[in-house]
Structure 1
Amino acid sequence: METIDKDSLEPSLKAATRPTTKSEYQKIKHASKLLELLDVDKVRKASPYCDRIFTTLTATMTTSAS
């Protein structure tokens, strides 16, 4: 994900969702359903930044709960 140019990401998402929806892609509207479909282990392996945020959040929550 980090290697995709930010300016081409949104048009790519719109193009990918065009045949499946009657309305424009709305990231907030679809985010929770899309997140449920993700394989967390695959995403973490594919994205070092994602892995880092999960690691940081887990460490923070563990420290806060203690």
Structure 2
Amino acid sequence: MCLRIIVVAEVLYVITSSVKDVCKKAPTERVFLEKYGKVCLCLDEIVFQGTLEHTDKDRIRRLTRLKPLAD
């Protein structure tokens, strides 16, 4: 049980810190909507088809730079 809590806490930390990094500001609703495409790419790199894929913030940042935003 304790291990599950630690894993969930780590995943939430990675998600929040990556979203803050993508927004480059405090993530308000307006900033979040302006950077929505980048935030989605960031979340896609963290979780892929329901499986945790990456937890390293620097790697997530590099991988999101490699993918173009879909319009």
**TM-score normalised according to structure 2 size:** 0.26
Determine which structure has the larger strand proportion and give its number: 2
Determine which structure has the larger helix proportion and give its number: 1
**TM-score normalised according to structure 1 size:** 0.27
